[in-house]
Amino acid sequence: MENVFVFDHPLIQHKISLMRDKNTTTKEFRELVSEVSMLMAYEVTRDLPLEEIEIETPVAKAKTRVLAGKKLALIPILRAGLGMVDGMLNLLPMAKVGHIGLYRDPKTLEPVEYYCKLPEDATERDVVILDPMLATGGSASAAVTFLKQKGITNIRFMCLIAAPEGIERLHRDHPDVPIFCAAKDQKLNDHAYIVPGLGDAGDRLFGTR
Ligand code: PRP
Ligand code: URA
C-alpha cells in the first residue's frame, strides 16, 4: 500500500520489543516511547525541503543548506500521544506543539473529542500527528478530519504500532496522509486492541492501570 512507511531499523525494533513486554515498568516504557519517537523523527522529516544560504566558517565563505520555508507543528492526540512529544522535540526544537483530546468510547469504540488547542499559525506549518497506537483508525481519522476542517493541509501521521485495520481506514479516509509506524502488527482483537500490540499505551505511559 502506498504512503505507509514501516521502520525496520534494528534500534527501533529492539526498543519496540522491550515496550511490548508486559514486565516493562512505567518508567522504562515512558523512556522507550520517547527514544523511539526521536529515532523515528529522523525518517519522518526526511523529505523536508532545504534552501541554500551563505555562511562564513572560521576558514572560508561557504554555501550550505538549512531547512526552508514552512516549519513543523507536532500534534499529539491526548493522552498517549503526549509520550512522543519530548523525543520529537529533542530533534526538532523549532517545532510548535498543539494538542487534540480524543478518547475511544468503550461501547461504540468511536472517538470523542474533548480538547483542541493548536498553534496560531498551524495552517502555515507541516503537521505531524502523534499517537502511539493506530488500532481501528477511528481516532487518527477523526484527528485528521478535524485538522483539515481548520484549514491544515500538510499532514503526516506517526505512530509506534499500527494494525492493518487502522492503516486501511486512515488510508481510505485520507489517502493524502502518509503513515509512519515502527511496527505493523497482525490484527485487532474483539475489544479493538492491537494483537500482539503492547496493551493500553496511555495506561502504560502514565501508570493508570
Ligand atoms: C488510544 C490510542 C489512540 C486510540 C487508538 O487512546 O492512544 O488514540 O486508542 O484507537 P483507534 O485507532 O481504535 O481509534 P485511548 O482512547 O485509549 O485514550 P488515552 O490515550 O487517553 O488512553
Ligand atoms: N489503544 C491502545 O492503547 N492500545 C491498543 O491496542 C488499541 C488502542
Interstrand relation of 61-67 and 72-78 (parallel, antiparallel or unpaired): unpaired
Phi, psi of 89 (to 5 degrees): -65, -25
The per-residue pLDDT string of the chain (209 residues; one tens digit each, 9 = 90 and over) reads: 568 999 989 999 999 999 999 999 999 999 999 999 999 998 999 888 899 999 999 999 999 999 887 789 999 999 999 999 999 999 999 999 999 998 878 888 788 889 999 999 999 999 999 999 999 999 999 999 999 999 999 999 999 999 999 999 999 999 999 999 999 999 999 999 999 999 999 999 999 98
DSSP H or E run through 55: strand 50-56
Residue 124 has a pLDDT of 93
Ligand 2: residue whose CA is nearest its atom 7: 193
Q: Tell me the per-residue pLDDT of 100-119, one tens digit each, with 9 for 90 and over.
A: 998 878 888 788 889 999 99
Considering only the C-alpha atoms of the chain, give the largest distance between any 2 of them, rounded to a whole number of Å: 66
Residue with cell 499505551: 201
Residue 92, C-alpha cell as written in the block: 526538532
Ligand 2: residue whose CA is nearest its atom 5: 193
Per the CB < 8 A criterion, the answer to whether 168 and 139 are in contact is no
Q: Give the type of residue at 197.
A: G
Residue 65, C-alpha cell as written in the block: 543548506
Cα(161) to ligand 2 centroid in Å equals: 9
Ligand 1: residue whose CA is nearest its atom 21: 79
Residue 1 has a pLDDT of 55
Residue 69 has a pLDDT of 73
Active site residues: 104, 108, 200, 203
Sheet of 161-162: strand order equals 133-134, 161-162, 183-184
CB atoms within 10 A of CB 180: 21
CB atoms within 10 A of CB 54: 8
Q: Which atom of ligand 2 is nearest to the CA of 204?
A: 3
Residue 76 has a pLDDT of 98
Interstrand relation of 161-162 and 179-181 (parallel, antiparallel or unpaired): unpaired
